[in-house]
Structure 1
Amino acid sequence: MGWLPRLLALVAAILLLGTAAGPTPVAAAPADPSGEVVLQLFWGDGCPHCAAEKEWLEQAVEDHPGLVVEQFEVWGDADNQQLFLRTADELGFEPSGVPTTVIGERYWVGWSDTVRDEIAAEVERTLSAGTDPVPTDQPSTASVDVPLVGPVEVGSGSLVLSTLVIGFVDGVNPCSLWVISVLLAIVVRSASRRRVLLVGSTFLAVTAAMYAAYMAGIYSAMGVIGHLGAVQVVVAVVAGVFGAINVKDYVAFRKGVSLTIPESSKPGIYARVRTAAGRRELLPALGATVVLAVAVSLLETPCTAGFPVLWTGLLEANGVSTAQAAGLFGLYMAPFLLDELVVFGLAVATMRATKVQERHGRLLKLVAGTLMLALAGTVLVAPEAMTRPATAALVFAGAFATAGAVHLVTRAVRGDPWSSGEPSQTSRRRPTPVRSRR
């Protein structure tokens, strides 16, 4: 079995890990001696999730006469903004998004089925007679043990499964795999396992840091778009375009608009790789590797833009707080780096570099493009669905099944889906010139 099937087979394990992660029970908030439950809702005018929660609260007030709802619009009212900041400071959380719901010492950021059920349960517990609740100062959380990262605390309904799968598929990127395979192919010629380990780990560390900065920038931009109430539409359109281009690259590679490293840039990358790997002194070689990693990270941005936009858009659309987003980012990076760590580990162990072939890259683009299109539609219609593991698993399974079906149909119709009129390695050789005889 080749490296690509092994990597894709890990999706099943990621699905199981995501569905196994669940919230940790916490104690209820203290009951109000007056027999009433005061719920504070901080919302924004034009926020679709705020509107959904307000509609639910209208019915909740009718069902629970003791429920008192206080609403504060914070996007356009300066006094309410100050109250929001003071409340968040008292409870010890960052006011990162709306809707934010507060009952006693508990708070919820965002709106989903899970948040709705927790608020409803909290209201029931507080209004019920004879309860002896214990106060708590934070909402329910889920803890996930991430390899190389450690325990990561994320909120309930926090897109754990979606983060794992999107991070994994994003990491299996033809552009980044091609670059690291070229780098390792050159550095292994030194026959020094220590040199391969240091150069490869430096490259991965710098590219991971660059990617973290890139995603942080997108997350900040999504926060601005979210305040305009247009985050779902923007994310769906951008992801849909990127997904369609990736699917196009499967059947018509490098024809028209293509999300890949341009052929004109590859000679420069080869030169930088040879410079980084060819230096005799180790420190100059590591310095050249850092420069190479920064340059490559900037150059391959179009290859990786789709999934960060999707993922950060899902966080914003579901009202995930900044603290929870930081935990989920750690969760994202573990499967994101997995494929490159596998390639790197094999090179260190065997002192041989694995070559990424074009047919592998095109198949990965089909899988990535199909998943982007599926997620774009989900973000537009029902982003909260991605917080439910069972529903998210169905979306991912449907996308992967569709990609597999497209590949099988293409093979049946065209015979060889990789033959798009491009010359093979053999045909690229220049023919021997034939001298004419006079």
Structure 2
Amino acid sequence: MKNSKKTKKLNFSFVQIFVLVTLIFSLVLNVSSVKALDSAPKDNNVTLYFFWGDGCPHCAHEKSFLEELQQRYPELEVKSYEVWHNSENAKFFSDMAKAFGTTAMGVPTTFLDDKVWVGYSDYMGEEIEEKVKYCIEHGCIDPIQKLGNPSSSEISESKETTSTKAEDNAISEDNAITIPILGKLDTSKTPLIVLTIILAGLDSFNPCAFFVLFFLLSMLIYSRSRKRMFLIGGTFVFFSAFIYFLFIAAWLNLFLIIGNLAFITIIAGIVALIVAVINIKDFFFFEKGISLVIPEKAKPKLFERMRNLLKATSLSSMIFGTIVLSIAANTYELLCTAGFPMVFTRILTLHNLPTFQYYFYLLLYCLIYVVPLIAIVIIFAMTLGAKKLTEWQGQVLKLISGMMMLCLGLVLIINPSLMNNIFTSIAILATALAIAGIIIFITKKVKKYKEAKEGNN
């Protein structure tokens, strides 16, 4: 009996211990699960504000990126505002930028929590995604709260002038190439580097610049010194490029300050058309009426500076005189070539690039611009002036320049985004060249016919 009682007592103790351990273990599990629930990520809704412009390539790329981001993160709400064609949206953009302590300089611009991204790149896309993930887990403010009026219902959200599909705007890996400094480029669209080379190449055939350089080198022929011709010609070309760079940079900064409003692009297109008409007129009626050439009253002063340059005895005075001549000559030359830099910088600002890329393209433009001038110096020095620019060649350059400006001006007015497609760009420029070629061909035939008729009489 005693053993039986002991066994019962022992069993009862084991049961008590088992129940106690079970209770403690359950309590620990409950506390852990509560802590786990508290520490689990919270699915907070996230609001992102995206300001863009119709026809802006970088805006299209970010738009595609944000659509993909919404598919991955359903908590993300993207409020999209087109600002180039909608004054209400533009004002909202300006107010939002002020609330964040900045200014509405360009598009695309993205507001999320307390951060602002101006422009778009792959790196910025990664930053935006990281911020979205953070906001989903920890919660973030709606950027519009910074305005002091949290209601955005009165703003024309997503007021688009053209529909843009994500698959149309995403860069296909088959069409993408990566270039240092420039980043990833879509070969199905016109890379800015190609457009820069084309426009700078056309601008480089500047009759005014050729006239001054030819005249300067012609005066140096009498020295019979190739070394002197290379030195003076090279100095003149270098400072011509430097002054031209400053001139184009002024256009660029003007457009950056004014912003990407659509009417500014239209004004640039109208100015381009005026320049085009004047240049085309000069082919048929050279230097009659209004002409974008070096004024006749300015030529005597330039010639006097050239003659003084020939009298220089020391190397330093010769170089200084060439620099002064280059500054004076290029001041007048800007009248001949204002159109292309204006069109180029306007197209450039529509792409909303980082600052260093803007100036990279300006530098490239200027380097290409002086290639024909360098060629003239080399040929002139080697042949001692056997080749010269005739009046007829000057007129032909004016016509080609005018036809190009005419086409570019029309594109800026009608649809600037046409320049984003490489095939369209080539077609536009080829059309301009073809029309100019036909006009030159017909003009030559008419001249020969008239000369033959006069000879028979």
TM-score after normalising by structure 1: 0.69
Distance 2:420 2:342 in 1: 17
Confirm or deny: 8 A CA contact 1:40 1:70 kept in the other structure: yes
Distance 2:121 2:163 in 1: 14
Q: 1:208 to 1:413 in 2, by over 3 A?
A: same
Distance 1:54 1:169 in 2: 30
1:276 maps to amino acid: L
Q: 1:370 to 1:195 in 2, by over 3 A?
A: same
TM-score after normalising by structure 2: 0.66
Structure having the higher Rg = 2
Distance 2:207 2:373 in 1: 11
Q: 1:321 to 1:59 in 2, by over 3 A?
A: closer
Counterpart of 1:4 in structure 2 is none
Counterpart of 2:126 in structure 1 is 104
Q: CA deviation at 1:266?
A: 1.7
Aligned mate of 2:50, from 26, 41, 51: 41
Deviates more, 1:365-374 or 1:387-396: 387-396
Q: CA deviation at 1:184?
A: 1.0
Distance 1:184 1:33 in 2: 76
1:412 aligns with 2:441: no
Distance 1:390 1:104 in 2: 31
Counterpart of 2:280 in structure 1 is 247
Could you say which structure has the greater relative contact order, defined with CA pairs below 8 angstroms and 6 or more residues apart? 1
1:153 aligns with 2:157: no
Aligned partner of residue 75 in structure 1, secondary structure? helix
Q: 1:198 to 1:241 in 2, by over 3 A?
A: same
Q: 1:196 to 1:114 in 2, by over 3 A?
A: farther
Aligned mate of 1:188, from 196, 200, 221: 221
Number of aligned residue pairs: give it: 353
Q: 1:80 to 1:229 in 2, by over 3 A?
A: farther
Distance 1:121 1:155 in 2: 9
Aligned mate of 1:274, from 298, 302, 307: 307
1:209 maps to amino acid: F
Counterpart of 2:12 in structure 1 is none
Counterpart of 2:146 in structure 1 is none
Aligned partner of residue 69 in structure 1, secondary structure? strand
Confirm or deny: 8 A CA contact 1:152 1:328 kept in the other structure: no
1:285 maps to amino acid: M
2:364 maps to amino acid: L
Q: 1:42 to 1:347 in 2, by over 3 A?
A: same
Q: CA deviation at 1:388?
A: 2.2
Counterpart of 2:95 in structure 1 is 76
Correspondence 1:139-288 to 2 at 5 A:
142-143=178-179, 153=182, 156=185, 158-288=191-321
CA RMSD, Structure 1 to Structure 2 (Å): 4.4
1:383 aligns with 2:405: no
Q: Which digits, 9 at most, give the CA deviation of each residue in 1:256-278, with x for residues without a partner?
A: 11011122222221111111133
Distance 1:373 1:352 in 2: 34
1:354 aligns with 2:376: no
Confirm or deny: 8 A CA contact 2:270 2:409 kept in the other structure: yes
Counterpart of 1:339 in structure 2 is 372
Q: 1:392 to 1:117 in 2, by over 3 A?
A: farther
Distance 1:280 1:180 in 2: 21
Q: CA deviation at 1:74?
A: 3.6
Confirm or deny: 8 A CA contact 1:184 1:353 kept in the other structure: no
Higher helix share: 2
Correspondence 1:18-29 to 2 at 5 A:
none
Correspondence 1:53-68 to 2 at 5 A:
60=67, 64=71, 66=74, 68=77
Q: CA deviation at 1:370?
A: 0.1
Counterpart of 1:148 in structure 2 is none
